[in-house]
Amino acid sequence: MAERRSLLRIFLTMLKIGALTFGGGYAMVPLFREEFVSKNGWISDEDMLNMIALSQSVPGAIAVNCSILIGYRLKKLRGALVALSGVVLPSLIVLTAVTYLYTAVRDNPYVAGALRGIRAAVVALLVSAFLSFMKPFYKDAVSMTAFFAAFILSVVFGINSIYIILGAMAFGVTAGIWRVRTAPPVKGGKP
């Protein structure tokens, strides 16, 4: 398995994700999951979900943050640098080219139509990733409560996401402490 997790393989996988994903970092989430959890089995589904949550919680683009976490998990610092390079290189190349070509194609109806189609596909990918990540939470009432509370606070009341994340962290810590204190003792006297 260590051979399959080579730095070159990590770079090429991230390069593929970076090159084939349109719509920003959130559009990469299902591809990260597909490549690193489902296809290669390098990371567990739970770890991937935690990496995505952490990537959203710290400053920076989710794709960059998540690629660094994945690379670090697989090959420490060198893996993080290689994963980061792979995921940003396609965007760097494309943005450099687009900068020079933008004035020539900005009014082209074919380009505008292609971008509208890409946006629709990105929404479908995000919904798909959301549904697959929600599966572990369906059986956990505390997690579902946190999810719906965060959703309502964000969508209905327009609360800033940083406050929702901080509140969710406090809620999670409190729920964890409560579960530990109310759990029946394990044989041998240790919880």
Q: pLDDT higher for 136 or 122?
A: 122
What pLDDT band is residue 175 in, cutting at 50, 70 and 90? confident
Q: Would 100 be classed as within a structural domain? A: yes
What pLDDT band is residue 9 in, cutting at 50, 70 and 90? very high
> Which residues span the domain enclosing 122?
7-133
For residues 122 and 145, state if they share a domain: no
Q: Would 15 be classed as within a structural domain? A: yes
Q: Would 2 be classed as within a structural domain? A: no
For residues 144 and 99, state if they share a domain: no
Q: CB within 8 A of 153, min separation 6: which ones?
A: 159, 163, 164, 167
What pLDDT band is residue 3 in, cutting at 50, 70 and 90? very low
* Percent of the chain surpassing pLDDT 70: 92
pLDDT by residue (tens digit) across 96-129? Answer: 887 777 667 767 888 778 878 888 888 888 888 7
Phi first, then psi: give them for residue 157, nearest 5 degrees. Answer: -100, -10
For residues 150 and 78, state if they share a domain: no
For residues 128 and 169, state if they share a domain: no
For residues 113 and 186, state if they share a domain: no
Q: Would 29 be classed as within a structural domain? A: yes
Alpha helix segments (H runs only) across 61-108: 62-105
Average pLDDT (15-44) is 84
Q: Among 133, 154, 176, identify where a domain stops.
A: 133
For residues 119 and 174, state if they share a domain: no
For residues 26 and 108, state if they share a domain: yes
For residues 113 and 172, state if they share a domain: no
pTM here? 0.57
Contact 58, 154 (CB under 8 A): no
Does the pLDDT of residue 1 top 80, yes or no? no
For residues 77 and 168, state if they share a domain: no
Domain count, the chain: 2
